A and B are shown apart, each in its own frame.
Chain A
Amino acid sequence: MTRATDRAFAAGVAALAMLVPLTLVAIAVLIVIEAWPSITTFGLSYLTTTVWDPVKLVFGVAAYVYGTLVTTAVAVILAAPVAIGCAIYLTEFAPRPLRGPVAYVIELLAYIPSIIYGLWAIFVMVPVMRGVVEPALQGTLGRLPVVGRLFSGTPVGLDLLSGGVVLAIMILPILLAVSREVLLAVPPTQREAMIGLGATRWEAVSRAVLPYARPGIIGGAVLGVARAFGETMAVTMVVGNSSREIGGSLFTPGYTMASAIANQFLEADGELYFSAIVEVALVLLLVALVVNAVARVLIRRSIADRPAGAVV
């Protein structure tokens, strides 16, 4: 009797759980089917072409991939140091009465939906980017020989840089929450041992706490990358939505893969045009899978590197 109930329960749990991998497979299969006309028509040239012309029916995703990579890179470069530094400060250095409340505020802010970040970005951030930040960048970094190319052109505000900055703000709370959680989980003995040996607090943090927490922090950063890749609305609202040639400047209005889908999905008429947009989703899906797989390998390796003698 008990054994039968046990088996039934296990079967029920398994059946529900198997929906997860089944959904994943269904997503991949169905998107490939929908994208098939585009795949067979354009083949590999789809990945290398920057032309996206619904009139002549020539489609290539390269410009969208470029936009996605650039905005994500900007976001992670801006957000990761701030988030990790902030997490370290909040777990190791901040006055104790402040730690809880500040962390609470940040946790609340992680719940802000992306559409609100988009709204804020379009009405508050973009004017500042256009009027202040971008001209300033052009006047300083823009004069440097190689880096300068990134800041050439007219500061329009609605461009790849703005897309990256809004992404950075959006992934900041997530990066911070994960890093903080990981740092809090580091056993106090890790710090105490270093402090006991006469280390300053920063020495203890940098040599005993951070190496211990590294896998988790990398995991958090990857979570941020994944979110940035797929983030649609906020970026769509500020990135400019124009599929120009790949240029070197961050001041170019662009498209990310996600924003291209959001903008054109509903207006796509004709099988090939529609199929080409679904193929953007397919590329996005593949990129997401690769990023996740790479992340898992990285995290595993970091765990293997865990300093000998660390209390697990």
Chain B
Amino acid sequence: MSVAAAPGMTVAIPARHRVARRRRIVERGVLSVLACGTVLAVALLVTILGYVVVRGLPALNLAFFTQRPLPFGEVGGGIAPALFGTLLLAAVSGAIAIPIGIAAAIFVVEYRSGRFAAPVRFAAELLAGLPSIVVGVFVWAALVRTVVGHYAAIAGAVALAIIMVPIVARSVEEVLRLVPQSLREAALALGAPRWRVILSIVLPTARAGIVTAAVLALARSAGETAPLLLTALGNEFWSADLFRPIAALPLQIYRYAVSPYEDWHTKAWGASLVLVLVIGTIGLLLRVVTRQRVR
């Protein structure tokens, strides 16, 4: 195409250049704004984790992991009962919540033709949006005041379970929907009954997602403080009794953080670091366990 052949183009080209340049500038501008936002987000969040590590490390020593908290003024002491309490609460609440959550997801996805599939899904959605402190108030009224009669670890575990169920149910539901319909149909066509299809085909196919859902729920509940404040209450002493108040890391951190003592503040950072490590370990362990089962 020669310039002489199209004299009108000599007017059009600069205009088109201008448009192209504007589009390029917009592209670059948007790109740098988005990049700045990303850097800001990451920097902010890394800062928080950095503080936990830097301020928490000085608190860590053998006694911190093996001893119980001491009254202010006494040197040393640790968070061992709280660490144990958090693990116990996670185990008990997980044992309650994970089967229920998975069952709810199976009910919603695999039995979706049923009359109650939609209400269960809706209820899980509403339950997920429920503030954890409201769950705490409920469990207090349902268990602490009446059935058990006093603050107890089991009440804390139930509160955590109520928080975990919708998290498990909704994430597992999403994962189950991703399992190709053709897999189910193939198994059914081979004569497998519905329960075999679900247990041997659908759940194993979705296993990675189910594990992620469970880890997410456990991690979320391990850090919950508010509902435990109204149910498990906290404890300065060792206790493995489900019907007594029990210590938990978040409760211990809270107690230390709002105290006026410098030493306890350091311990709060230390306990936070331990809590982060616990959550990380839960995630790692579950990953390792499921990988081994694959082989």
With A118-B257, A278-B141 in contact, do A230 and B132 touch (Cβ < 8 Å)? yes
Is the beta-carbon distance between B131 and A229 smaller than 8 angstroms? yes
Cα distance A159–B124 in the bound complex, in angstroms: 34
A51: Cβ under 8 A from any B Cβ: no
Is the beta-carbon distance between B42 and A106 smaller than 8 angstroms? yes
Cα distance A266–B138 in the bound complex, in angstroms: 14
Q: In the complex, what residue of chain B is closest to A118 when comparing beta carbons?
A: B257
Interface residues of A in 184-204 (CB under 8 A from B): 200-203
Is the beta-carbon distance between B137 and A16 smaller than 8 angstroms? no
Is the beta-carbon distance between B45 and A21 smaller than 8 angstroms? no
| B96–chain A nearest beta-carbon distance, Å | 10
Is the beta-carbon distance between A89 and B45 smaller than 8 angstroms? no
Is the beta-carbon distance between B283 and A111 smaller than 8 angstroms? yes
A109: Cβ under 8 A from any B Cβ: yes
Chain B residues within 8 Å of A3, by CB: 193
With A26-B142, A30-B142, A93-B31 in contact, do A289 and B133 touch (Cβ < 8 Å)? no
Main SS at interface, chain B: helix
Is the beta-carbon distance between A9 and B194 smaller than 8 angstroms? yes
A138: Cβ under 8 A from any B Cβ: no
Interface residues of A in 48-91 (CB under 8 A from B): 81-83, 85-86, 88-90
The interface stretch among B3-11, B58-66, B114-122, B179-187 is: B114-122
Write the A201-231 contact mask toward B (1 if CB under 8 angstroms, else 0). 1110000000000000000000000100111
Is the beta-carbon distance between A278 and B33 smaller than 8 angstroms? no
Is the beta-carbon distance between B41 and A106 smaller than 8 angstroms? yes
A258: Cβ under 8 A from any B Cβ: yes
Cα distance A181–B131 in the bound complex, in angstroms: 24
Interface residues of B, count at CB 8 A: 84
With A85-B34, A116-B253 in contact, do A17 and B137 touch (Cβ < 8 Å)? no
A288: Cβ under 8 A from any B Cβ: yes
Write the B257-272 contact mask toward A (1 if CB under 8 angstroms, else 0). 1100000010011001
Chain A residues within 8 Å of B268, by CB: 119
Is the beta-carbon distance between B41 and A20 smaller than 8 angstroms? no
Q: List 10 A-B contacts (CB under 8 A).
A: A19-B165, A21-B123, A33-B141, A85-B38, A89-B38, A113-B223, A116-B275, A229-B131, A281-B133, A284-B133
A sample of 13 more A-B contacts (CB under 8 A), given A24-B123, A30-B138, A261-B133, is: A9-B194, A16-B99, A17-B100, A27-B134, A34-B141, A85-B34, A93-B35, A105-B46, A113-B225, A119-B253, A119-B257, A258-B133, A262-B133
Interface residues of chain A, those whose CB is within 8 Å of chain B, are: 2-3, 5-6, 9-10, 12-14, 16-21, 23-24, 26-27, 30-31, 33-34, 81-83, 85-86, 88-90, 93-94, 102, 105-106, 108-109, 111-120, 122-124, 169, 172-173, 176, 200-203, 226, 229-233, 237, 258, 261-262, 265-266, 278, 281, 284-285, 288-289, 291-292, 295-296
